[in-house]
Amino acid sequence: MSTAVATAENGTAAPLLEQAPPLLIKKLSETAKLPTRGSAFAAGYDLYASKATTIPARGKALVDTDIAIAVPAGTYGRIAPRSGLASKHFIDTGAGVIDADYRGQVKVLLFNHADTDFAVVEGDRVAQLVIERIYTPEVVEVAELEESIRGAGGFGSTGKN
């Protein structure tokens, strides 16, 4: 009996736990790059800038990827930050939910928390695409909610740190 294996761009391999449906990608330009995983156990697929963009100091900008995607049914795509951009350049991502029925270009909203402009070059990895399963229960209005130990406490109510 053989085990299916996933191989990352860097050549590392890991066993597949289950066969997932494919993530479908359409390139919208010649400068578009397919998303890649940095290692066999990487949760996210790196997304690449398809053109140069400047993120102004203390500002924001949309970065084109020139790809459209179709995530598997029962999932959505979450645009997540890249840890290196955050820790080295104070760059964060925002507004990153891609629904299963969206077919437009994937764009990445980047926030620059630094005091200097940040240059994105064509081909730079700008964010990660994480495919997450979703559960969409029926919404039911009730007169009361069952009590819990926590109650209505929020914003730091469960501890000092």
For residue 89, the SS3 value is: helix
pTM of the model: 0.82
Q: With 60 as the cut, is the pLDDT of residue 3 above it?
A: no
Q: With 90 as the cut, is the pLDDT of residue 142 above it?
A: yes
- Mean pLDDT of the region 107-121: 98
Cβ proximity of 123 and 49 under 8 Å:
yes
Cβ proximity of 116 and 88 under 8 Å:
no
- Mean pLDDT of the region 69-84: 96
pLDDT (0 to 100) of residue 151: 80
Cβ proximity of 63 and 120 under 8 Å:
yes
153 CA to centre of own chain: 30
- Mean pLDDT of the region 147-159: 78
Q: How many residues does the chain have?
A: 161
pLDDT (0 to 100) of residue 145: 93
